[in-house]
Amino acid sequence: MPRNRFSRRKFLGISAGVTGAALAAKTILLDPGPAFALPTPVSASDRVRFGIIGIGMQGSSLLENAIQLPGIECVAACDLYDGRHTLAKEIVNPDLPTTRRYQDLLNNKDIQCLIAAVPDHWHKQIVVDAVNAGKDIYCEKPMSHTPADGVEMVAAAQKTGRIVQIGSQRVSSAICAKAKELVAQGVLGDVMLVEGSLGRNDPTGAWEYPPPPDLSPQTLDWETWQGTVPKRAFDPYTFARWRCWKEYGTGVAGDLLVHLVSGMQYILGINEAPKQVMSMGGILRWKDGRNMPDVHATLFEYGQVPVYMRLNLGTETPEIYRFMGSKGILEVTEKTLTFTPQRGVDDSPSYYANSFPRAMYREYAQKWHMEHDPVPGQEPTPKGITYVGISWDDVKPHLWNFFQAVRTRKPVVEDAVFGHHAALACHLANESYFRKSAVYWDEGTKTIKS
Ligand SMILES: NC(=O)c1ccc[n+]([C@@H]2O[C@H](COP(=O)([O-])OP(=O)(O)OC[C@H]3O[C@@H](n4cnc5c(N)ncnc54)[C@H](O)[C@@H]3O)[C@@H](O)[C@H]2O)c1
């Protein structure tokens, strides 16, 4: 069982038992969010039937989680590697129809919507083809492989009116929703600075994945897998470790930074590209032939606020945001949210006055205390507060929001425009790294400029 999976009932059981004590300690357990409360069994007309394209590391997890939701049914699966047909049948049922051609899913009238968890260089074509075929689609992050891909995807989503949801699942988490609520209430005062960081220190964390042992041009359609990228001889390492190369992936920016940016956009209510971006980094640890940096630090400008985000595949550090404001700090991690208030005033005479001659200092300090000291017993006691929730990496709430949108036609939060803006921030970070200069998005020409 994944470390973050526990049932809603178990969660609420814990919550009810400790609420009183938790409040006293200023720690509150968050309700895990969507109740997945459709009556079971769901009538045939209310069932949502989906097909999945890409049943690799992420697709297999999405598939496993999606079919546990009430009223959700997988009717077909597509992958270019046959081993993943076997896996899809193991997850759903041995009779699940499987194919190497995603066009078969687009032509299947039983399929209302799709999940796509393919490498980044395939996102655009699959999303554009899906919406043009009348299918709603949940596509993994980062939405696009290039800015031009993103522009085309937004246009296709808007032209067809299909639901497109991008897969930074924390946007549907209870942790980020609570952070958004607190920021909207003004707990931070004026936002001054935002920082986000994440570090890993192991080969798997740095994408050195083991290729499936039976992978060959017979078990994989290698030609199609490469898409429009200049063709290379069959290479199992490229198949498994595509994130390392810009031809297929988008580096730590598109793999990890995009989650930090998407969560930040959601929490602060931002839905635009940053005004300016400056990145530095390098291939400092994993000199395995990759062409994307393994250390990547970026400074973004959103509105007037600097946002500093750091990704490091050479040192393990927790994933954390710090939203800093004139009234305190909001720290957000995978399962916790802590607000520490600050009064923003002096709580003692200014230490600058230590440079006054003694008599002058005594007079200043006496006056200061008379004007500022609280009435005894009424000293201000600003209290911090911590919320604890289930992991923001749990994909079920995000899948549920997508399937509900398919049912109700209500728009999703992380739609194509939101996904495009988050991906643009990552493309700008990569472009700044390669150009070694500050860059910005020019909306007029829809290109990145220095
Ligand atoms: N949201 C998250 O937390 C999260 C986590 C991991 C990965 N991802 C994203 O999910 C996507 C997939 O990543 P992954 O690690 O699962 O990759 P993966 O390489 O493990 O799996 C991708 C699968 O897609 C198949 N595929 C590629 N092109 C195809 C095509 N044209 N038609 C059909 N199948 C095709 C491949 O054969 C492969 O089995 C990426 O965009 C990645 O960024 C998101």
- Domain 29-170+395-418: which CATH number of 2.30.30.280, 3.40.630.10, 3.40.50.720, 3.60.20.30: 3.40.50.720
pLDDT the model gives residue 388? 96
- Residues 102-108 have a mean pLDDT of 98
Q: What percent of the chain is modeled with pLDDT above 70?
A: 92
The chain-wide mean pLDDT, for the chain, equals 93
**What is the residue-wise DSSP string for 392-442?**
TT-SHHHHHHHHHHHHH-PPPSS-HHHHHHHHHHHHHHHHHHHHTS-BEEE
Count of Cβ atoms closer than 10 Å to residue 367 Cβ: 11
Residue of minimum CA distance from atom 18 in ligand 1: 56
pLDDT the model gives residue 32? 72
- Residues 266-278 have a mean pLDDT of 97
Q: Is 269 left (phi over 0), alpha (psi -120 to 50) or beta?
A: left
Q: For ligand 1, what atom is nearest to the CA of residue 243?
A: 43
The span from the CA of 367 to the CA of 265, in Å, is 46
Tell me the two tokens of residue 269. Answer: 């209510």
pLDDT the model gives residue 193? 98
The span from the CA of 303 to the CA of 227, in Å, is 37
3-class secondary-structure state, position 47:
coil
150-175 residue pLDDT tens: 999 999 999 999 999 999 999 999 99
Q: What is the best residue among 52, 60, 79, 124 to mutate for testing ligand 1's pocket, by most ligand atoms within 8 Å of CB?
A: 79
Spacing, Cα 435 to ligand 1 middle (Å): 28
Spacing, Cα 122 to ligand 1 middle (Å): 9
Spacing, Cα 225 to ligand 1 middle (Å): 11
With cut-offs at 50, 70 and 90, classify the pLDDT of residue 364: very high
Position 118 pLDDT exceeds 80: yes
Position 228 pLDDT exceeds 50: yes
Alpha helices in 146-209 (DSSP H): 147-160, 174-185
Fold topology of 172-343+383-392: Dihydrodipicolinate Reductase; domain 2 (3.30.360)
Beta strand extents in 263-316 (DSSP E only) = 276-282, 295-302, 305-312
The span from the CA of 76 to the CA of 257, in Å, is 32
Count of Cβ atoms closer than 10 Å to residue 31 Cβ: 16
Domain map of the chain by residue range?
29-170+395-418, 172-343+383-392, 345-381
CA dihedral 181, 184, 188, 192 (to 10 degrees): 120
Report the chain's C-alpha Rg in angstroms.
25
Spacing, Cα 55 to ligand 1 middle (Å): 7
Spacing, Cα 149 to ligand 1 middle (Å): 17
9-45 residue pLDDT tens: 333 333 333 333 333 348 899 987 666 666 666 777 7
pLDDT the model gives residue 57? 98
Spacing, Cα 30 to ligand 1 middle (Å): 31
281-295 residue pLDDT tens: 999 999 999 999 999
Spacing, Cα 57 to ligand 1 middle (Å): 7
Tell me the two tokens of residue 268. Answer: 């602060």
Q: Which residue has the higher pLDDT, 4 or 142?
A: 142
194 near 260, Cβ under 8 Å? no
Q: For ligand 1, what atom is nearest to the CA of residue 255?
A: 43
- Residues 196-213 have a mean pLDDT of 98
Q: For ligand 1, what atom is nearest to the CA of residue 120?
A: 41
Position 253 pLDDT exceeds 70: yes
304-360 residue pLDDT tens: 999 999 999 999 999 999 999 999 999 999 999 999 999 999 999 999 999 999 999
Q: Which residues line ligand 1 (CB under 6 A)?
A: 53-59, 78-81, 84, 102, 117-120, 122, 140-141, 167, 169, 224-225, 255
- Residues 353-379 have a mean pLDDT of 95
The span from the CA of 264 to the CA of 268, in Å, is 6
CA dihedral 28, 29, 34, 35 (to 10 degrees): -120
Spacing, Cα 7 to ligand 1 middle (Å): 27
Q: What is the best residue among 127, 140, 239 to mutate for testing ligand 1's pocket, by most ligand atoms within 8 Å of CB?
A: 140
330 near 205, Cβ under 8 Å? no
239 near 225, Cβ under 8 Å? yes
Q: What is the best residue among 57, 62, 176 to mutate for testing ligand 1's pocket, by most ligand atoms within 8 Å of CB?
A: 57
Spacing, Cα 111 to ligand 1 middle (Å): 20
Q: What is the pTM of this model?
A: 0.93
Residue of minimum CA distance from atom 6 in ligand 1: 58
341 near 328, Cβ under 8 Å? yes
